[in-house]
């Protein structure tokens, strides 16, 4: 039973999200780069994404352990692997998963001076999960507290969040000056389902009392799991079609919220560029199909150590424990904030390339095109604990009018050897792109601490 509990705990810890798209950021030959910075310097006349194929991405990362550590066929007993993973991690470790599919997207120029303003729009579906390693709870699950007399186990280590949602968005950006572009994007969130347990506290400790077999055990718990859009599927009287129900929630039928993205691109010199963006500054109000579970209370026991999870042992103590720290069901509305992402970059372009075709990636004016660019990017994302931070350096090369490459090196809490590569091609009006991260680990992905990929298909029309 303890082994199953720990496996479940580690599974939760393996599911969280990281949304750093460092290869896509400022790779403006790809229209989806505007989703990372609404103030991106794009010069398409208009574009549209192929529905369901224009933007597909997934991110996975672990700062504590890899799948190989648990499941390698190396002759080591699984129990030993489990214990090694548990005791090699800390409560600061996190593992990340994020998935996103663009349902539709498009954009076009507007205004009397059509080269100065741009409208973009679209809708995408997203799924995230977030959890830190619940170290103390995992130790209790596998070892109990027999060998930890006097240790205070922190129940606040439990920190988990999961959500599926859709996002409808409209963006606008404008060249305020010849060398300054400002952008804004409004968003409407529709949450299909949400499970959040991030503000927990409590402790458990056991100390010897008056004799070798007599102990004092204290439990204080303030744990709560809030959910929305989930409870009805566990109702035996639920008869509706699940897939149809989810589709309705995706099309703005779920719990609603609003958000905003802000961004800019600035050229202090023709070949020097600075960008910055703040993405997903927003929240969701959970008012529909809300149900929560709460363990809250205080219990002190003195005597032979009981097992509070087994009603056949020390029945009086077990009932007293249930009465002192009851499991309550609550139906309280709640609000969740989206994980806000902040980006900034500086870029130096060189190797001037004279071309009759308008550049769609290296702005300042349509007469100057650079073959090469080097830069650095900083990414910060809010989490329930410490912010997630990543630093990226990159090199971008224009090979031809229809082919560009971008190579990146990223340093973050998941990996110190993260090398990525992106390809953006354009054959006629058809744009295809593929971006992949942490390439050194692809020889054995089970040992990888992080990887991500993105791909998509667009139709882009530039000025002749």
Dig out the tokens for 140 from the structure. 């209790």
When pLDDT is cut at 50, 70 and 90, the band that residue 434 belongs to is very high
Q: Please provide the average confidence, as pLDDT, over all residues in the chain.
A: 83
When pLDDT is cut at 50, 70 and 90, the band that residue 394 belongs to is very high
When pLDDT is cut at 50, 70 and 90, the band that residue 115 belongs to is low
Nearest of 98, 158, 156 to residue 132 by alpha carbon = 158
Nearest of 409, 404, 449 to residue 425 by alpha carbon = 404
pLDDT at 226 over 80: yes
Report the share of the chain in percent with pLDDT over 90.
46
- Most confident range (mean pLDDT) of 208-212, 228-232, 375-379 is 375-379
Q: What is the mean pLDDT of residues 90-96?
A: 74
Query: Residue 366 contacts by C-beta under 8 Å, 6 or more apart in sequence?
Result: 43, 358, 359
Nearest of 50, 31, 51, 49 to residue 41 by alpha carbon = 31
Question: Per-residue DSSP letters for 70-135?
Answer: HH--SS--HHHHHHHHHHH--TT-BEEEEEEEEEEEEEEE-SSSTTSEEEEEEEEEEEEEEEB--H
Look at 1-10, 13-22, 204-213, 355-364 and tell me which has the smallest mean pLDDT. Answer: 1-10
pLDDT at 7 over 50: no
Between β-strands 388-400 and 334-337, what pairing exists: parallel, antiparallel or unpaired?
unpaired
Q: Which residues pair with 41 in a beta bridge?
A: none
Look at 15-24, 333-342, 426-435 and tell me which has the smallest mean pLDDT. Answer: 15-24
pLDDT at 396 over 90: yes
pLDDT of residue 366: 46
Instruction: Judge residue 426's burial from the number of C-beta atoms within 10 Å of its C-beta, 0-12 exposed, 13-18 middle, 19 or more buried.
Output: buried
Nearest of 46, 146, 162 to residue 106 by alpha carbon = 46
CA distance 142 to 207: 19
pLDDT of residue 192: 92
Instruction: Judge residue 399's burial from the number of C-beta atoms within 10 Å of its C-beta, 0-12 exposed, 13-18 middle, 19 or more buried.
Output: exposed
Contact indicator for 163, 98 with CB cutoff of 8 Å: no
Other residues' Cβ atoms within 10 Å of the Cβ of residue 114: 12
When pLDDT is cut at 50, 70 and 90, the band that residue 255 belongs to is very high
pLDDT of residue 9: 43
Residue-wise pLDDT tens digits, 143-194: 777 788 888 999 988 888 889 999 999 999 999 888 999 999 999 999 999 9
Catalogue all structural domains in the chain, each as residue range(s) with its CATH number: 2-461 (2.40.160)
**Length of the chain (residues):** 464
Higher pLDDT, 110 or 362: 110
Q: What is the mean pLDDT of residues 297-321?
A: 70
Look at 137-151, 229-243, 306-320 and tell me which has the smallest mean pLDDT. Answer: 306-320
Q: What is the mean pLDDT of residues 245-269?
A: 92
- Most confident range (mean pLDDT) of 112-126, 173-187, 194-208 is 173-187
Report the share of the chain in percent with pLDDT over 70.
82
pLDDT of residue 364: 42
Residue-wise pLDDT tens digits, 39-77: 999 888 899 999 999 999 988 766 666 666 666 667 777
Higher pLDDT, 294 or 207: 294
């Amino acid at each position: 039973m303890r082994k199953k509990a720990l496996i479940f705990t580690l599974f939760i810890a393996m599911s969280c999200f990281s949304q750093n798209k460092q290869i896509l950021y400022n790779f403006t030959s790809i229209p989806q780069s505007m989703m990372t910075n609404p103030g991106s310097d794009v010069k398409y006349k208009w574009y549209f994404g192929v529905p369901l194929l224009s933007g597909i991405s997934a991110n996975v990362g672990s700062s504590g352990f890899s799948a190989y550590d648990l499941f390698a066929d190396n002759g080591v007993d699984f129990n030993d692997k489990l214990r090694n993973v548990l005791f090699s991690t800390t409560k600061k470790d996190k593992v990340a998963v994020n998935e996103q599919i663009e349902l539709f997207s498009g954009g076009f120029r507007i205004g009397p001076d059509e080269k100065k303003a741009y409208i973009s729009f679209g809708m995408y579906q997203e799924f995230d999960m977030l959890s830190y390693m619940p170290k103390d709870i995992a130790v209790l699950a596998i070892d109990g507290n027999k060998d930890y007399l006097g240790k205070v186990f922190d129940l606040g280590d439990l920190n988990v969040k999961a959500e599926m949602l859709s996002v409808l968005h409209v963006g606008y950006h404008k060249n305020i000056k010849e060398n300054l572009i400002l952008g804004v994007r409004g968003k409407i969130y529709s949450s299909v389902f949400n499970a959040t347990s991030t503000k927990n506290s409590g402790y458990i400790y056991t100390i010897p009392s008056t004799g070798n077999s007599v102990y004092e055990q204290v439990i204080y718990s303030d744990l709560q799991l809030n959910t929305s859009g989930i409870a009805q599927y566990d109702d035996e009287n639920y008869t509706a079609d699940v897939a149809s129900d989810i589709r309705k929630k995706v099309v703005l039928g779920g719990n609603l919220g609003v958000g905003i993205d802000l961004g800019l691109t600035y050229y202090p010199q023709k070949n020097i560029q600075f960008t910055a963006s703040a993405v997903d500054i927003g929240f969701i109000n959970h008012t529909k199909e809300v149900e929560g579970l709460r363990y809250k209370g205080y219990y002190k026991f003195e005597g032979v150590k009981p097992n509070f999870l087994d009603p056949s042992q020390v029945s009086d103590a077990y009932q007293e424990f249930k009465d002192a720290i009851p499991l309550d069901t609550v139906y309280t509305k709640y609000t969740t904030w989206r994980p806000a992402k902040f980006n900034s970059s500086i870029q130096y372009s060189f190797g001037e390339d004279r071309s009759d075709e308008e550049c769609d990636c290296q702005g300042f004016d349509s007469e100057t095109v650079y073959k090469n660019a080097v830069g650095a990017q900083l990414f910060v994302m809010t989490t329930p604990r410490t912010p997630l931070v990543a630093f990226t350096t990159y090199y971008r090369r224009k090979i031809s009018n229809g082919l560009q490459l971008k190579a990146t090196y990223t340093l973050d809490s998941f990996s110190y050897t993260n090398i990525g590569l992106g390809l953006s091609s354009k054959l006629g009006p058809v744009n295809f792109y593929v971006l992949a991260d942490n390439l050194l680990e692809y020889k054995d992905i089970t040992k990888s601490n992080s990887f991500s990929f993105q791909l998509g298909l667009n139709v882009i029309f530039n000025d002749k």
